Structure 1
Amino acid sequence: MDVLDARIVANRVGNRRRRVLEAMDVPRSFGGHCHKEVQESLVAQSSSSKSDQFTWKSLWALTVPNAVKTFSWKACYEALPNKENLRKKKVLEDTSCPFCLREKETLIHAIWDCPAAQDMWGCNLSPFQKCSWEVFSFRELFERSIYSFDKDKVELLVYVARAIWFRRNKTLFEGFFTHLDEVFYGALKALAEYKDCQQMEFPHNSSASNLNQNAHRAVWCLPPSGFIKINWDAAKIKADAHLAETIAALGEVKFSTEAGFFDAICEWDATKVVADINSEPPYLSNTSHFIENIHMEKLRLRSCLFVFAPREANLAAHTLAKEAICNKNYMCWLEDVPSNISSIVFREASVSLDP
């Protein structure tokens, strides 16, 4: 069995901005009881009152998608369907948190106080690790953050809060569990991508369809500060594609440990391999042996994320892997760029780094 893999390693430099890949989807329905609760809240307290102006101006001025602003606004008005709110509406009786099973599930508990949420806020990627505020509502959390943090950090806070809420819903209603580092990285990445999209300049004569295609074009982006990103792909000769990608994944984790990259993000364009590696044991596929070895190697790292990237965002590694089929010799470049992918790397660098 012959499997050829290609890897591209990148490190984030300083505080330079990363490139946008995608925009968050906008939820269309929050439930009738939530809509009614917002209306009741608006009658009791107008969001345009003088005492609230700074809070709402700060919220609507954030550079985040409208879906995140809407989520934050509803959360400030306690208008999301947590168990305590549903009890008040006589929808259910049991208000115990489905994760910690100790406290009743209020909104601030689900997003901030619950140990499951605190694990998210304290993960390796989080700048909120030392933030141990005792707050009693999401609005209090938001108002305290706008007085304590700069705008970028507040934007990350509301993005992560929404990600925690959506992770809670996926776990409860779909039985789909996502690792906390992956959720936080996804929020961090999506926020940077959205900001860069807002800064993209298009010719005035561009059609709406062209603008839409450009806005959703996937491109490579820098990893968070302190992390190494390893982009890789595999070219198969005698192995099936899925097996080839899995064997290459094992090689990437070993490469990371041998090179001393103890905080790594492994990114590639094989959806099924990503799903297999991020799934819970037992591993029942024909690649289970390699998956188990990947997790054994992963224990040697401090933090290692396995993330899917569209082909367009993994083009350099994909091109290098295809070229490797025609070359039987082992080749390695350090602080240099192979000539056959130089144009791709330089183009990605030009859109991933600020001038």
Structure 2
Amino acid sequence: MVNLVSKVLIFSLFNRSGSLAGEHSGKDGIKGGFHHIWKMEVPVTVKTFIWKAIHEGLPTRKNLARRGVVDSALCPICKQVEETTCHVVWSCMAASDVWADQFSVVQKWDSRDMNFCSLWELLTTGLCLKQLEQVACVMRRIWLRQNQFIFEGKFADPKTVYSSVGTLKLNWDAGIEVEAGRMGASILVRDSTGEVIAVMAKVQESVFQPVLAELLALWRAVTFCLELGLTAVVFEGDAQSSIKEINSSDENCKWYGQILEDVKSILMDKSSWRVQYVSRKSNQAAHHLGKFALKYVEDEIVWMEEVPECIYSFIAADRQCNA
């Protein structure tokens, strides 16, 4: 079943692109449409990226030139052929360097250019699901790497593309107005390079205790990751006592113990998820987003691959430190 976040993204893409379901089939693409994509256990941003790639929804140079946005359709890296979707993520010499990595499951595959739908069909028939998930994540990282080169003049080493595919970091925090009984929760999901995957700001009423606010924020962070289909996540927060209780094997019998035990039950089913403490200094982006939620959010707001202006400087500072 496609989760709520996926449905929102699909609806948005349909509004922009028109009727796309079944648009590519038979010899021109994958039979059965795009529904198999949503079975992959990868972030919804990766699923959406592949879906858009299949339906030629990515702003490649060829697509932009066809719309009159740019003058030339040539690839800005190799400057030899038109920049198509398949060229960017597969056949360009820059992409080939990535796929030649020792950990690549397609290291010895033919890198000739072709229609992306034909490439994806070859991948779905030649790889198991786990391998396909890895390839999908790497393809999106190659696309982001290309954009970073175009807009920032930086070109990441091929090895870093593979190293950035894996565990995600989620920072969470909660602000509270005790007298009003109102809390603001903040959630920030990034990959190992600091690239923002998703951001959430949420407000909840009838919360009068800081410890409950922190646990409710963590609960929403955990359920948000379930909705996004994330498989490996490190949850980082600065509520040291609550995190200690979360990581304890003892049953918690305090008044807020039920919500804590609910979080622990989900974590027990996710061997690649863990919760750890970080200092407030290392949690600044989430801390300021929680304050923003208290002032300006009425219910819940989600940003996919976007950074709210209120925390942009903190995200930029973190990326600079990790560069």
TM-score, normalised by the number of residues in structure 2: 0.48
The higher-RCO structure (CA 8 Å, 6+ apart) is 1
TM-score, normalised by the number of residues in structure 1: 0.44
Higher strand share: 2
